[in-house]
Structures are given as C-alpha cells and as structure tokens.
Amino acid sequence: MSILINQYTRLLVQGITGRDGSFHALKMREYGTLVVGGTSPGKGGSTVDGIPVFNTMYEAIEQTKANASIIFVPARYAADAIMEAADAGIELIICISEGIPTLDVIKAYRFTQLKGAMLIGPNCPGLISPERSLAGILPGSIFKKGNIGVISRSGTLTYEIVYHLTAHGMGQSTAIGMGGDPVVGLYFRELLEMFQNDPETEAIVMIGEIGGNAEELAAKYIQEHVTKPVVAFIAGQSAPPGKQMGHAGAIISGNSGSAKEKITALAEAGIQIAQEPSEVPLLLKGVISR
C-alpha cells in the first residue's frame, strides 16, 4: 500500500497549458501517473500532447472521473483554483504555486476542510508513491519502492535524504513535501497518523526546519500514538533569530521555533535525530533492527 496516491489515482493538472503545468504534466505521465486531463479557462477543447484540456474543473471531473488535482497557476489565482477543485469534488488537491498571500491560503484551506477535501501545499514539491504515481515536481529517478514513509517541510532536503535512503537500499512507501509557507494543508500530525495506519510503512522519516511549533506538536503525537520507528532531521540549526531562512515559515520568532527547541522535544519523545542528512539511513537501520 501507500498513502494518498497510488497507481489508480486519476490526476487533473490545473494550469496545464502554462509552461510549468505542461512540462510537469508530461513528466508525471511519463512516470506512470494517470494524468487524465487539465484545465485552462478559454482553452477547453484543446490538448497538451494528447491530454484533454477543459475550461472548468466541474467539466473536467464530469468527463474524466478524476479524484486528485495539482495546481500550477500564478499565485494571484491559486487560492481560487484550490477552492474550485474542492467545490467540484476533488478529494486530494496539491498546490505547487508559491507566493500566495497567507490570508488567501487560510480562506482556501478552510474551504477545502468544509468540502471534505485534503490539501497539500501550497509552495510544495508534491508527493510520490514510488513506481505507482507521482503528483508533483519531485525527481522520480531517485525514489525506490519500499517501506519508509517520508514527511518533509523542505523539497530539496527531501531529495537529498531520499537519495541517501535509496543508496542504502531503503525504498519509500510514500514521500510527501508539505510546503514551507506559514500556513499549509496536511501537516505532520495528519500524515503521521496515515503512515501509522499504513501496513506497508515500516518506519518514518520526518524532515523539519526552524519556525512554528509543528515539530513539537508532532513529537507529542508520536509519543502518544505512533508505534513505528521515527527518525528526524531538523534544518536551520545555525540560523540567527528573526531572520527568514529560505521558506516563508522558516523564521525563529522570539523564543519559539528554534532548532534547539524542536530537537529537544523530539529527543524527549524518544525519536532518533540525525545531525546530517547522510545519517538518516544509518539511524533507521539501527531502530528498525531493534
């Protein structure tokens, strides 16, 4: 098994006629994803290398029976795209777009919750269930089918740590880049629960970074509810307070959100913490063999 996506996921690409949308639609299809269509207002009836284009999500879902969508539209339209997908009945929405105003994300995320949809992102690389389905911009070649679940706030760190996992023969059940904005959809707690309930996932890698308190809350949840081994890596250990480091959400504010606080909370929950990305598979081997 895997979580969220598999070989049966039927994916729509919102913004498919744009540069990024068309490029990644073909990359995802090449990987094996069932890319069943896309949307681009005013361009309905056309195709992108054989993939049908529709004017609206309502029309696209009616014609394709899609259950997931991925968004490649400019930031000023992205919140509306999220809400259109949720209103049309999409179950899983992945928003790649970055630079969306936080208040717009809050409104769109709340709307998806009211509609019973799940949101990943925005400003995220998406997710992959190796050898089954790719919904995002992740480099599929470094992933390998296996039983390690990966949850990450950072796209590039996901790639680096997955590279090390694969090099050590440790494949992945599903890998998810949640996004680095101050407000995103599915986060550590929800994804940890999914991996805990997934019979194929044997262990979990959690990649965090400075800013917010998501890792501290995740540590508490793991301590109380997760029985599978967890290894964590926290980025930004040398970041100065008050300075944004890369992601909009990666900023230490006052006395909260520091790497030290996160590492302390995770360690107190009994979670193994890697000091370098390359240590993750070594620590995993240790906790899995116990």
How sure is the predictor about 180, in pLDDT bands with cuts at 50, 70 and 90?
confident
* DSSP state at residue 240: P
First to last CA, the chain: 24
Q: In this structure, which topology does domain 139-288 adopt according to CATH?
A: Rossmann fold (3.40.50)
d(CA 2, CA 228): 15
Q: Are 236 and 207 in contact (CB under 8 A)?
A: no
Of 277 and 257, which is predicted with more confidence? Answer: 277
Rounded-to-5 percentages of helix, strand, coil across the chain: 40, 25, 40
d(CA 45, CA 8): 25
d(CA 196, CA 180): 23
Position 47: which residue type?
T
Q: Is 10-120's fold the same as 139-288's?
A: yes
* DSSP state at residue 256: B
Whether the per-residue pLDDT at 246 is higher than 90: the answer is no
Q: Which percentage of the chain shows pLDDT scores above 70?
A: 92
At 13, list the tokens.
Answer: 């690409």
What's the alpha-carbon Rg for the chain, to the nearest Å? 19
pLDDT, mean over the chain: 92
Domain boundaries, the chain: 10-120, 139-288
Strand partners, 93: 69, 119
Section 175-201 average pLDDT: 95
Cβ contacts of residue 193 below 8 Å, gap of 6+? 221, 225
d(CA 270, CA 219): 9
pLDDT at 104: 97
Overall CATH class of domain 10-120: alpha beta
d(CA 61, CA 151): 29
d(CA 68, CA 86): 10
Tens of pLDDT, residue by residue over 143-160, are 999 999 999 998 899 999
Crossing angle between the packed helical segments 214-225 and 188-197, to the nearest 10 degrees = 30
How sure is the predictor about 286, in pLDDT bands with cuts at 50, 70 and 90?
confident
At 101, list the tokens.
Answer: 């105003």
pLDDT at 31: 98
Catalytic status, residue 164: no
Section 190-219 average pLDDT: 94
Whether the per-residue pLDDT at 29 is higher than 50: the answer is yes
* DSSP state at residue 41: T
Stretch among 105-114, 210-219, 226-235 having the lowest mean pLDDT: 210-219
Of 252 and 136, which is predicted with more confidence? Answer: 136
The structure tokens 């050898």 sit at 131
Whether the per-residue pLDDT at 242 is higher than 60: the answer is no
Tens of pLDDT, residue by residue over 34-43, are 999 999 999 9
pLDDT at 261: 87
How sure is the predictor about 280, in pLDDT bands with cuts at 50, 70 and 90?
very high
Cβ contacts of residue 127 below 8 Å, gap of 6+? 4, 5, 94, 120, 134, 135, 136, 138, 174, 175, 176, 177
**pTM score of the predicted model:** 0.92
Q: Are 210 and 157 in contact (CB under 8 A)?
A: no
How sure is the predictor about 56, in pLDDT bands with cuts at 50, 70 and 90?
very high
Nearest to 189 by CA among 229, 233, 221, 151: 221
Of 190 and 255, which is predicted with more confidence? Answer: 190
Section 83-100 average pLDDT: 97
